[in-house]
Amino acid sequence: VDTARPRKERDVMKDGKRLVITIGRQFGSGGREVGSRLAEELGLGFYDKNILRMNSDESGIKESYYHLADERPGSKLLYKIVKGVTPELGAPSFGSDLISADNLFRFQSEVIRQLADGEDCVIIGRCADYVLEGRDGLVRVFLFADMDYRVKRITDLGYYEEKDVKKNIKRIDRERRDYHRYYTGRDWENVENYDLMLNTASLGTEGAVKAIREYLRIKGYEL
């Protein structure tokens, strides 16, 4: 299901430059809710798992392969042996490594860059902060929260049996941390990677949306 919300017919631009907001998030901190609300309020494109279908359309590779590799690191052997070396992020290959995790990431990165070139948008996860690094109009946000808050959110959403919620939060956080480290060579939760780090346990998801909007006003965007 395409989960992008309807958009208003306007762009949010500053000095003729596109606005692209990337949102990294601990699992259960409300990243998807914050991103979709923000996109709806500002009339921006919203991209989360719907990127996987776009990756498939762009590459001709079955969408299921992208779901299997989604926000999971590629070769664990390379990651363990040489932590300082990140996979080559050049043009994707149509050769024998077509469906390798690294090549799928290259296809995905190409789609992310095309989205950022084409419209103002919000992009959730998938190392978009790194893929788009240095781009004018890029705002990098990271959402976090304490474990009790995240356990309650995920329990209320009913994703897992109550007894399994905490271990799955830890597992998915670990996968996202390893994925980010593997493809960027950076620590996922390092404050230096972001423009804003927001505690949704303190602010709530609605408060996080307001905080991001206020930051954009301070930066000179007309909302």
Angle, CA of 134, 135 and 136, to the nearest 5°: 115
Query: What confidence tier does 64 reach under pLDDT thresholds 50, 70, 90?
Result: low
Query: Is the per-residue pLDDT at 66 higher than 90?
Result: no
Summarised one tens digit per residue, pLDDT across range 206-221 is: 999 999 999 999 999 8
Tens digits of residue pLDDT in 6-26: 444 445 555 567 899 999 999
The CA-based angle 79-140-6, given to 5 degrees, is: 110
Q: CA angle 26-129-37, nearest 5°?
A: 60
